[in-house]
Amino acid sequence: MLRIDLPAPAGPAQRSLTARRTLLFALSLCVLLLCLAASLALGSRSVPLSTVFDALSGSAKPTDTGAQVVTGLRVPRTVLGLVVGAALGAAGAIAQGATRNPLASPTTLGINAGASFAVVTAVYALHLSQPVQYVWFAVAGATVAALAAHAMARQSGDLDPTKLALGGTVLAAVLTSWTSALMLFSRRTLDEARFWLVGSLDGRGLEVLTPVLPLLVLGLVLATAVSPALNALALGDEAAQALGVPVARIRATAGLSVVLLAAGAVAAAGPVAFVGLAAPHLCRRVFGNDHRLLLPGCLIGGAILLLAADVTGRLVIRPSELEVGIVTAFLGAPLLALLARRAAR
């Protein structure tokens, strides 16, 4: 794999830049730890942090209901949010880098809609009822949708970023309408799939992560492998080829990593919108455009966004709660409008 190193300042300037980046990553990890603590402690019933520590260390009393809430409900939910948020953030960073399109994400490329349509079709036809059964249907739907969006964006062998965004948006609209039609046609399908389609971390145990972990790990490995070459792709296909970058192979590998990360995340938590779009844009302001730094930054940033949205959804209408997919959609729609306006300038 070709590695493209960015020009780096020498001497004291290089040390200052390295120290600044180290500080930014340390601060990001501190914010992530705060989100993890909030996710474990806050909800319809708040639990003191001392009880959280006792529950995690195993020193809580067996009759302590607060500790039971932490270990039985909030630890699985928090781990799921951490993994899904990181996967969506990384998928968004790679999608935007590979397509050179700031609006690219698993949602705008139609990948989430493809996974959703495949899952709802499987629920309708095969009478599936457990989220763990949705995994391979979500992967298949995400793969077909990604290939269709790329096929629509091809022009004389080159990938047109504008057509990719438009094709993905049209594809998502079509698949979403077909998904709605299936649910309206079958009340049983509607009852089984509606909560999954909203995008939620509630009521899902760690067992939903077991089948998707290999997909997420492979997707992350591929994303890490192609991230240096994405710096060259940002210069344009011709410039990247002149630098010796195998553009078609890098783009195909990046596309595969996006499908694996997005499909694994959707299979575990449902189609959570806008995290994959927002995380790269927010992290780019902090860590810059170097994908070797942007990718780990988006892993942290995506997890922070999803956990913060989940905690917000638990608190705004306590003791009930809003699903995390509703919160991210409510906050992400204005962000998409802002990005589209900037892209049109």
Per-residue pLDDT of the chain (345 residues; tens, 9 = 90+): 444 445 555 567 777 777 888 898 999 999 999 999 999 999 888 888 888 888 888 887 877 888 888 888 899 999 999 999 999 999 999 988 888 888 788 888 888 888 888 888 888 888 877 777 777 888 888 888 888 887 777 765 566 666 777 788 888 888 888 888 888 888 777 777 777 787 888 877 788 888 888 889 999 999 999 998 888 888 887 888 888 888 888 888 888 888 889 888 888 888 888 888 888 988 888 888 888 999 999 999 999 999 999 999 998 888 888 888 888 888 777 776 776 666 556
pTM value is 0.86
Phi, psi at residue 155, to the nearest 5°?
-140, 110
Residue 46 lies in a domain: no
Number of domains in the chain: 1
Residue 220 lies in a domain: yes
Eight-class DSSP state of 44: S
Residue 172 lies in a domain: yes
- CATH number of domain containing 211: 1.10.3470.10
Residue 24 lies in a domain: no
Which stretch of DSSP H or E encloses residue 154? strand 154-155
Q: Is 187 exposed, middle or buried (0-12, 13-18, 19+ CB in 10 A)?
A: exposed
Residue 190 lies in a domain: yes
Taking alpha carbons only, the member of 285, 292, 224, 286 closest to residue 254 is: 224
How many helices, marked H, and strands, marked E, lie in the chain? 14, 2
Q: Which domain covers residue 214, as residue numbers?
A: 73-344
